[in-house]
Amino acid sequence: MKRTVAEINQRIKDGDVVVMTAEEVIPFVESEGVERATKEVDVVTTGTFGAMCSSGAFLNFGHAEPPIRMQRVTLNDVPAYTGIAAVDAYLGATELRQDDHGGYGGAHVIEDLVSGRSVRLRAQSNGSDCYPRKDIDTWVSLNSLNQAYLYNPRNAYQNYAAGTNSSERTLFTYMGKLLPRYSNITYSNAGQLSPLLNDPTLRTIGIGTRIFLGGGTGYVAWEGTQFRTNVETRGGVPMGSARNLATIGDMRCMGPEFLRALYLPGYGVSLALGIGVPIPILDEGMMKATAVSDEQLFAPIIDYSVQSRNRRPIKHVSYAELRSGKVELFGKDVRTSSLSSYLKARQIAEVLAQRIERGEFLLTEPVAPLPQDRGMGTLEVRSKEEAV
C-alpha cells in the first residue's frame, strides 16, 4: 500500500481524508495491525509545546518622517539586533531587558505582540544624509508593523536529554530548577507526540514543509542549527538530541495560547512555542514510525552539576517512565517534571488534524530534503592558522 502527498491532498479537498493524532494512532495500529491501519489512515498529526530558546522575530517598523536608519533599537527596553537595513530588526527570544534583574525579555515582547498589545519602540542613529533622523520614541503593535515573522534557528528538537543534579546545591538551569542530591529529574519532549520522533529519519519533513507554528501556519525553513544525524538509536529512533528544524511563520496568525514567554531564574528568558507537523502516511514504514509509543522512546539522563560538554548519561529511560512521575535512579525513586506541556502538544496535534479535515491545511512535499548525514562540531580555542 502506497500513497502520495498529491493523493492525500486530493482526499483533503474531497473531504475524505482520514487523520489521526500520533497518540490516537498507537492503539489503532495495535488493534488493526500496520497493514490495515496504513490503508485507513492518510495523515498522522504530531505536536510539541516546549521551551525553544533559539527563536526570534524579524520586524519591519516602517519609515519615520524624516526617516531614520536605526542603529540601536529596543522594544520595551529589550535590545534588538539592527545591523540590517534601516528599519528592520531581529529580536531574539532570550535577549534580556536592559538594566533589569531579569524576568522580562525578547520572548515577552513577542508574546505581547501576538497578544495584540502595543510595545514601546526606541531607536537611535548617528544620522546620515539619506537618513537624517537621530532618534525616535514611539509605540508599535502587530497591526502597525509591515512585517512581523518568527524565524527560529533551532526548534522542535527530535529528542532531548533529561536533567538531574548530583551536587549539594540547587541548580538553576534551562531545564528548570534541579534540586540537590538527585532529588528531581526534568525533561522536555512530547515523546510519542513529538514531531521528529514520528518520522525519525525525516523522510517526509524537509525544506518547505508546511507546519503548525505558534497557533498559525509556518514552514520549515532549513535544517536547524546543531542538526545532527550521527547519534545512538534504539529501534531506529535517536536516544538524544539529534535533528531539529529552523522554522518560519507570520506572527499575525499566532496567539498566546501556543506561544508563551518563559522565565527560568538563574538562566534567563525563553519562549515556549507550539509546533505541529503533519506526517503523510506514504506506506507501511511511515505507519509503523508514527505508531511509536512512549515505552519505545528513550532519553538520556544527564547530571547538570558536571559543567562540561562531555557529560556522559547516567542512564537512558523511556518517556513512559519519565511521564509516570518517577524514575528509579541509584536504587531510589526520583520525581520527574516536564518542561514541555503534554496537554498543549496533544491540543496542537488535534487542532492540526481539524484544520486538515476541514480542508484548511494542505500537506506539502519537501522542496529539498534535510541532511541525511551530518555531524556536530565543537568550539576550540585555536590560532588563526589552526582555524582554517
Task: Check binding of 185 to other proteins (CB under 8 A).
Answer: yes
Residues 248, 229, 51, CA angle at the centre, nearest 5°? 45
User: Nearest CA to 324 among 187, 158, 193, 182?
Assistant: 187
SS3 at position 294: helix
Say how far apart CA 193 and CA 130 lie, in whole Å: 52
Cell of 285: 514504514
Please give the DSSP secondary-structure letter assigned to residue 253: G
According to the binding rule CB under 8 A, does residue 194 interact with other proteins?
A: no
Catalytic site residue 53? no
Pairing of strands 210-213, 216-223: antiparallel
Residue of 130, 368, 387, 388 marked active site: 130
Nearest approach, Cβ of residue 263 and other proteins (Å): 6
Backbone angles phi, psi at 247, to 5 degrees: -120, 160
φ, ψ at 231 (rounded to 5°): -125, 160
- Contact with other proteins (CB under 8 A) among 141, 337, 350, 366: 337
Min dist. Cβ of residue 129 to other proteins (A): 47
Which is nearer to other proteins, 67 or 255 (by Cβ)? 255
- Segment 51 to 80, residues that bind other proteins, using CB under 8 A: 51
Q: Following DSSP, what letter does each residue of 224-276 receive, concatenated?
A: PTT------EETTEESSS---EEEEEEGGG--TTSEEEEEETTTEEEEEEEEE
CB of 342 to other proteins, least distance (A): 5
Per-position x/- string for 130-169, each x denoting binding to other proteins as judged by CB under 8 A, each - no binding: ----------------------------------------
Under 8 Å CB-to-CB from 100, ≥6 apart: which residues?
Answer: 77
Choice from 148, 339, 353, 356 touching other proteins (CB under 8 A): 339
Q: Judged by CB, which is closer to other proteins: 267, or 298?
A: 267
- Site size for other proteins, by CB under 8 A? 31
Q: Are the beta carbons of 54 and 20 closer than 8 angstroms?
A: no
Binder among 49, 157, 160, 361 for other proteins (CB under 8 A): 49
Asked whether position 177 contacts other proteins by CB under 8 A, the answer is yes
**x/- site string to other proteins, residues 265 to 294, per CB under 8 A?**
x----x-x----------------------
Distance CA 377, CA 100 (A): 34
Give CA angle at 298 (295, 299), nearest 5°. 140
Q: Which stretch binds other proteins (CB under 8 A): 53-61, 214-222, 254-262, 309-317?
A: 254-262
Residues at the site binding other proteins, with contacts judged by CB under 8 A: 49-51, 176-177, 179, 183-186, 260-265, 270, 272, 325, 334-344, 346
